[in-house]
Amino acid sequence: MANAASGMAVHDDCKLKFLELKAKRTYRFIVYKIEEQQKQVVVEKLGEPGQSHDDFAASLPVDECRYAIFDFDFVTAENCQKSKIFFVAWSPDTARVRSKMIYASSKDRFKRELDGIQVELQATDPTEMDLDIFKSRAN
């Protein structure tokens, strides 16, 4: 399953948990981590359906890159309940350069494994993924 370009494999669990979030709303969010030694993307954390955007933001490490999926619920101007599935590429300024490069080069391939992403968000610090940004990108 590895791709010669980035040499990165994707653990089956990554897709399974995403499908559960998408179909059954089993999770509020999923945080994915690249195991650099094993050269594969794995599931690091799962957020319960009752957890909030704050819980999601707090689950991303301050100085390490991650990929994440967030199931964002919102109400439209017409007062309809909706949700959008966000893919977040978290690459804080304080992360190691090598790590940033690995996450950047593997991102598109990893995203292709997760069918059903509606919005992509790139963030280098917490202000770039605060709730208002999710709201404005969802509509």
The count of other CB atoms within 10 Å of the CB of residue 67 is 23
Q: Is 110 exposed, middle or buried (0-12, 13-18, 19+ CB in 10 A)?
A: buried
- Look at residue 6 in the predicted model and tell me its pLDDT: 55
124: DSSP letter: S
- Look at residue 2 in the predicted model and tell me its pLDDT: 46
Distance CA 12, CA 43 (A): 10
Distance CA 102, CA 79 (A): 41
- Look at residue 139 in the predicted model and tell me its pLDDT: 81
Residues of the chain short of pLDDT 50, as ranges, are: 1-5
